[in-house]
Amino acid sequence: MSKKEPQSHIAIIDSMYELLAEKSFRSITTKEICNRAGVGRSTFYRHFHDKYEILEKENAQIIDGVTHSMNKFLEDGDFESLPYRLLESVDRKRYLSLIDVTDYTVNLRRDLHNAVERYYLLYFKQKEISQKWNISFSFAKDLFVATVLAFLENSLRADTKDEVDRNIAFSKKIVGMFMKNPVDPSNN
């Protein structure tokens, strides 16, 4: 969303979130969104092609935030702040409203998976993680992606700060393994 979106644009988006809290995305109609937002259909279509576009754009904002956080890590190498940046980059309420919506082109979980996978390919492939740990490239990639996504989702769903702190500590250990030299099993 640009810095100065018209009130009608914001009202349409807010209406979509309100409706998502009440019912499934599939059952929401453009008419309901317009009624809730207090706008006519022509105003709706001036802003969005259809209801899918609303969530596609909202998903894109979440993906942009996550990608920005991960790219920031690539720039400065500050691994310690990466989990905090990831959590701060995402609007919790919007994320939780969108993560389970999978309909047609709308699928935040799939899009996040693809974004984190691209990050892995960008950063860790350079480091030859799979060779370093003597595991398949696919396994290393899938493990990293699963760790990041599980951390993000479980931390955003967490009820307490203590639970988030435990998630951060454990995730740092797992992802940290990707950044260090492997431990020789014969030395343990």
Task: Give every residue of the chain whose pLDDT is below 50, as ranges.
Answer: 1-2, 183-188
pLDDT score at 110? 96
Distances from the Cα of 74 to the Cαs of 9, 19, 80, 102, 132, in angstroms? 34, 38, 13, 30, 20
Q: What is the pLDDT of residue 184?
A: 45
Query: Considering only the top CATH level, what class is 1-48?
Result: mainly alpha
The Cα–Cα gap between 187 and 51 comes to 57
Q: What's at 118, amino acid-wise? A: R
Q: Write the DSSP assignment of 90-157 as a string of letters.
A: S-HHHHHHHTT-EETTEEHHHHHHHHHHHHHHHHTGGGTHHHHHTS-HHHHHHHHHHHHHHHHHHHHH
Please give the share of the chain, as a percent, with pLDDT higher than 70: 87
Look-up of token digits 């810095």: 3
CB 59 within 8 A of CB 106: yes
Number of H helices, E strands in the chain: 10, 2
> Per residue in 53-96, pLDDT tens?
999 999 999 999 999 998 887 777 777 888 899 999 999 999 99
